Structure formats: structure tokens, C-alpha cells
A and B are shown apart, each in its own frame.
Chain A
Amino acid sequence: MSLEIIFLIIYFIAMAGIGFWAMKKGQQDSEGFLLGGRSIGPGVTALRLQSSSMSGYMFMGAGSLGYTQGYFGMWYALGDLGGGILNLSVLGRRMRKLSQILGSITSIEYLEHRYPSKWIRLIAAPVALFCMFFYVLAQFIAGGRGLEMVTGVSFPVALAIAIGVIVLYTFLGGYLAVAYTDFVQAIIMVVGMVWILIATLIAIGGFTKGNEAIGAINPNMLTMWGADLGFQGQWGVIIGALLVFSIGYMGWPHVVVSHMAMKKPSVARTAGAYSLIFNLLFIPGPYLVGMFALILLPNLANPETAIFEVADAVLPTFAVGIVMAAIMAAIMSTADALLLQAGTIASQDIYARFINKKMSDGQMVWVSRITVLALALIGFAIAAFEPPAVAAIVIFSTTVLGSAFVPAYVCAVWWKKANTVGAISSMIAGTAVSVLWQVSGAPEATGIDPMVTGILASTAAMIIGSLASQANHPVPERIVRALDETAKIGPIPTKMLIGQDALLAGQAEMAGRNE
């Protein structure tokens, strides 16, 4: 058994230990047990927001972009850097307040409460499920590739093991993946990445030397325009690259749900600062390591494995074990979080809402389990025979989610006139335009990224749809009231604003109305 595998096993046992300890600690009263998820502070909010969305793509897709396109890949990183702070500053506080007042539990249900119509959920849930499946697929492939490298078994076998462990993880989750584990994993991800980056820089003789060596291989790699300067002046593509992980991020149902779990609205502020620090430390690393892999390992068969191979080449043996274990664990926790969210959407937002309204809690769990198993099997079937490029599928699914949901989530809290008709048109237009644009090959023909056209279409549809239907479908009075409540800052004495107990909002509203 290789040293890496031993470390991998030790690591999983340690994570299980932390999870088990955390559960024991929270076990003392049943209230704490059930409310555990509602009291998330800024550190955990920020790191969860980041780590629940990044791992598979960052370790494979980002490395491969760096390896094949040089500094052009940094456009994605540069947008990504601000994704967390943008999300928390624009949506965080208001979404936390509004979801409390409307009593929403899932982020799709929240959309239906804000834009009352069953069509909202009927459209949003399948779109979210579809895109999240691709996102999970990316994690599966990354997990499989990592395990393939560590153990030396063939890819389909490694993939089957990785998916098996991930699915097991979702069942053991209560012991493993509580907030403490997520938090620890996010920190280990940063430490592991920074470690690889530093070791790489030492191996190539420093940042400047590395750039010079890359310049000697292909000077175009040092420009922001791609390996063959193909993106020079292609601002439609570049703006898309900048938008996809910054603005697009606000449309991910599985990410914005963490706003709803914050302890109090002001957590958004500190969490925003933490997320920027995390991003500055973590995000540039994979792109740079991927690029410098060109110097160390010029003949990689699969550029997606650049980071794994570089780690193997530059780190001391014991460190390879630790870092690889951290990467694998991060991939698994992301996949597990996504699968659980997909299970929730399938059981709560589709099955309970449309198929069986009197769903029992036992049935709810079974629908979730079947969904998770089905996604795992389909994922295996696709990834084992023809694994698509991780970067491509992640960017594609992010583009569709962003185009479909960004206006719906942003206008939900910032625009009082945004109504059901606007939201439905926006989701349909965003999904349809971004998918058709991509599938029809328009990005190559026009030089405009689907993220740009998708988000323009969904924003326009939101504005036109809402304004055109104001007379027939006004925003219901109680939602206007809730929005007033959400926006309220000025008239309440600032000293007293923050200490307010949001749980009383509804009762205060009802008592006030009838005084």
C-alpha cells in the first residue's frame, strides 16, 4: 500500500472523528440538535460558500486552463475572486431577512414564496437539478482522476470507488460532514493549494524565472489572449469569463441557500471579508500551478491532471499524501453537498410539491436516496465511457444557472415590481438563450460568450415581463410589506436595528395591522 493511500485513510478517519466529536457535543439537548444548522457564523458561512462550489473545478479545470491557455485562464480567476463578496454584499443581508419573513426552507421554495405561482417551482427545480447534475459529474470525474493517480488503478475502477465513497459519504453525513468538518476542509484546501504553489515556485526558481521559462516555450501564454492569441480583442468572451464566476455565482441555488442559514443578517458583512481573503489565497494558485506545469511536465497526456502531477513531482512524499488526501476530501465534500441539495430539490420541490402533497418524512428520505443513487449511476455511466472536460461542463452549467436565476434572486430583494410573470419569463429566457447559444455554436461564430447573452436575455425578460404585467399580476400586498421590512434601515434608530428578532417579524406585522 502506498504512503498516499495510508494518508488518505488516516485523513478520513480524522474527519470522521471531528464530525463524531461535533455531534456528541451538540447532542446534549434536542433543540440544539435540530437547530444546529440555523446558527452559522461568518467564518463558516464564508468558507462553506466557497468550498461548496469550487473543489473539483479548481483542482482539474483551472489547472488545465492554465496549462493550455496560460494567463488567459486568469480572466476566470479574476471574476471568481470577487464572487463571494459580491454575492454576500448584494444578496446576503436582504435574502437572509426576506427568507425568514417568508418562512422559506429551500432556495427554490424561497423563489416560489417571493413570486407566488407553482410554475416558478415547476421551472426552477428541473433547471437547477439538471445543472447541478453536471456539477456533480465534474466532482465525480475529479475524484476518479485523483484516485487513479494515487492508487494506479484504471480510471473506470477509480471512478467507481470514488463515486461509491461519495455516496457512502452522503449516508454517513450526519457523522462526517457537519459544519466543523466543512470548515476544517476549507482551511486544509487553502493550505494544500498554497503549499503546492510555493513548492512549484521553488522548483522553477521563482515567479519571474517561471514566467520567463513559459515565455521561452510560447510567449503568447504570458498575454491575456490565449495560447494562439485567439481571444485578442474578443471582449464578448472575456466579459463572459469575468462574469461567470462573479455575477453568475448569485444564481446558484445551492450556494445562495447558505445566506438563509446565517445567524443574523449582519454576518454577511464579516463573511464577505473572509471570503475575499480566502479567494485571494486560494483561487490564483490552481491556474498558476497548471501553467507552470508546462515547465516541469511538458508532455502531459491529460492537462486536467496537471495539478495532481505537479504535486507528485514537487512535494516530498509524505506531503503528497497529505495534500492529495485534502484534495480528495474537498472534492468529496463538495460532491456530497451537491448530491444532498439535489436530493432535497427532488423530494421537497418536485415530489412533495407536485406528486404527493401528503408526503411522509419516510418517503421524503426515500425520494432523496433514490435521486442520489440515480445521479450516481447516470454520472458513472457518462464519466466512465466518455469523460467530458471538467472545465467545460462546470463553466457550461454555471452559465446556465447564472443566466436562469441571477435576475430572479437579485430582483427578489431589490426590485419591488418584480413579479411572477417577470420571474418566469426571466428563468425561461435565461435558460433557453444560454443553452441554445452554446449548442448552436454561436459563441465561436460571434465571439460572444453565452453568459453575456444569457444574462442579458433573462434581465430583459424580467424587466419587460414585470412591467408589462403589473396591471394583471401585481405583486401581492403581503410580499410588498415583507420587502419594505427587508429594506428597512433608515427610520428605525440605528442603535436598535441590528438587535431585532426577525422571528417576530410576522407577528409584529399582524399585530400592527389590527391595532
Chain B
Amino acid sequence: MFGLPTFTTVVILGVPALWVIYTAVFMWLSRGWKREDVEDNR
């Protein structure tokens, strides 16, 4: 894909995907914080 070797494609798409997953998991684990913030603002 993109005229790149397969390994390069996998790495440059795969590692950012891991970071996105990491962020998603962190956001999910800390979801309680946000609910509290909303109550705070009311």
C-alpha cells in the first residue's frame, strides 16, 4: 500500500493505532471523572 514495503505500512499504521487504542482504554477507564465534571458544571 502507498508504494511502501508491507512492513513499513504495518508499522506506520499499526503503532499509531496502538496509541489510539491506548487512549481509548484510558478514556474508558477514567470515564467516571467526566461524569463528575458534568455534575460539577450544573
Contact = CB atoms under 8 A, between A and B. Distances in A.
Is there any pair of Cβ atoms, one from A and one from B, under 8 angstroms apart in the complex?
Answer: yes
Interface of A: 71, 74, 78, 81-82, 85-86, 89, 207-212, 215, 222-224, 265-266, 269-270, 272-273, 276, 280, 284, 494-495, 497-499
Nearest to B1: A208
A269 B30 contact: yes
B19 A276 contact: yes
Given A85-B26, A224-B11, A266-B33, 6 more contacts: A85-B22, A215-B3, A223-B5, A273-B23, A495-B36, A497-B36
Contact of A212 (B3, B15, B22): B3
23 contacts: A74-B11, A78-B12, A81-B15, A82-B19, A82-B22, A85-B26, A210-B3, A222-B3, A223-B7, A224-B8, A224-B11, A266-B30, A266-B36, A269-B26, A270-B34, A272-B26, A273-B23, A276-B20, A494-B32, A497-B32, A497-B36, A498-B37, A498-B40
A499 B15 contact: no
A86 B22 CA distance: 9
B36 A78 contact: no
Nearest to B26: A89
A208 B27 CA distance: 34
Interface of B: 2-5, 7-8, 11-12, 15-16, 18-20, 22-23, 26-27, 30, 32-34, 36-37, 39-40
A82 B17 CA distance: 10
B3 A81 contact: no
B23 A272 contact: yes
B23 A276 contact: yes
Contacts of B40: 498-499
A511 to B, nearest CB: 24
Closest 7 CB pairs of A and B: A498-B36, A211-B3, A266-B33, A82-B19, A78-B15, A212-B3, A208-B3
A66 B22 CA distance: 27
A269 B34 contact: yes
Given A82-B19, A211-B2, A224 B33 contact: no
A208 B2 contact: yes
A78 B15 CA distance: 6
Given A269-B30, A498-B36, A224 B7 contact: yes
A81 B19 contact: yes
Nearest to B40: A499
Q: Chain B binding site: helix, strand, loop or mixed by DSSP? A: helix
B27 A78 contact: no
Given A82-B19, A222-B5, A276-B20, A269 B12 contact: no
A469 to B, nearest CB: 34
B35 to A, nearest CB: 8
B39 A495 contact: yes
Contacts of B32: 494, 497
B8 A222 contact: yes
B29 to A, nearest CB: 9
A141 to B, nearest CB: 28
Contact of B34 (A89, A211, A266, A499): A266
B32 to A, nearest CB: 5
Contacts of B27: 269, 272-273
B15 A494 contact: no
Contact of B23 (A85, A223, A495): A85
Contact of A494 (B19, B22, B36): B36
A376 B39 CA distance: 49
B4 A222 contact: yes
- Max chain B C-beta neighbours (<10 A), residue from A85, A210, A280: A85
Contacts of A495: 36, 39
Contacts of B15: 78, 81
A165 B33 CA distance: 43
Contacts of A284: 12
Contact of B11 (A78, A85, A207, A210): A78
Nearest to A242: B15
Contacts of B18: 82
Given A211-B4, A215-B3, A498-B33, A280 B11 contact: no
Given A74-B12, A224-B11, A269 B33 contact: yes
Contacts of A81: 15-16, 19
Nearest to A279: B19
Contacts of B34: 266, 269-270
